[in-house]
Structure 1
Amino acid sequence: MLLAHPAVLRELLARYESLSAASQELALAPDLKRRLEDVTYTLCVTTGTRQLEHALAAARARLAATAG
């Protein structure tokens, strides 16, 4: 399986966390909802998972493994 570069994973996680936080503070505008769906999909594809929780865990684990 191909692995995403750590910089890509960091950027995707940051974008997801930012959009997720914004969606909880604001009414979920269609544009914000679409961007959140896009980054969620991209996280799943880049980590080879099908569920957001698994994608987040896989991305974080990969980053932790490359940090040390």
Structure 2
Amino acid sequence: MLMAHPALLTDLLERYEALHVLHAEDGSAGARQRLEDVSYTLCIATGTRDIESALAAARRQVSGARPKDDSLVAGA
């Protein structure tokens, strides 16, 4: 199975948390749609079908990442 890069997962987790707060405070259709979009992307990136599983999988993968993961650096 392909695994998303830890930097991508970290970014998605941060965006999810920010949008979750924004949606709770704002409740607008735009905030809801952006939260749904990042939730869907997290599910795709982690190979899961629901956001709770996606969040758990992403956090688990990020916590197991090497501290200085250079796998996207050319020539590394």
Give the structure-2-normalised TM-score: 0.83
1:36 aligns to what? 35
* SS class of match (2:3): coil
More helix by share: 1
Q: Percent same amino acid among aligned pairs?
A: 51
Give the whole-Å Cα distance in 2 for the aligned partners of 1:24 and 1:67.
33
Q: How does 1:13-28 map to 2 (within 5 A)?
A: 13-26=13-26, 28=27
Provide the alpha-carbon RMSD of the alignment. 1.0
Distance in 1, matches of 2:43 and 2:49, equals 6
Q: 1:62, 1:10 → 2: CA distance?
A: 10
Q: How far, CA to CA, are the matches of 1:64 and 1:10 in structure 2?
A: 10
SS at match of 1:66: coil
Count residues with an aligned counterpart.
67
Instruction: Tell me the equivalent position of 1:4.
Output: 4
Unpaired stretches in structure 1, ≥5 consecutive residues? none
Give, in whole Å, the separation in 1 of the partners of 2:66 and 2:4: 14
The superposition leaves residues 6-36 of structure 1 with CA deviations (integer Å, 9 ceiling, x where unpaired) of 000000000000000111112x111111100
Residue identity matched to 1:18: A
1:50 and 1:56 mapped to 2: Cα distance? 11
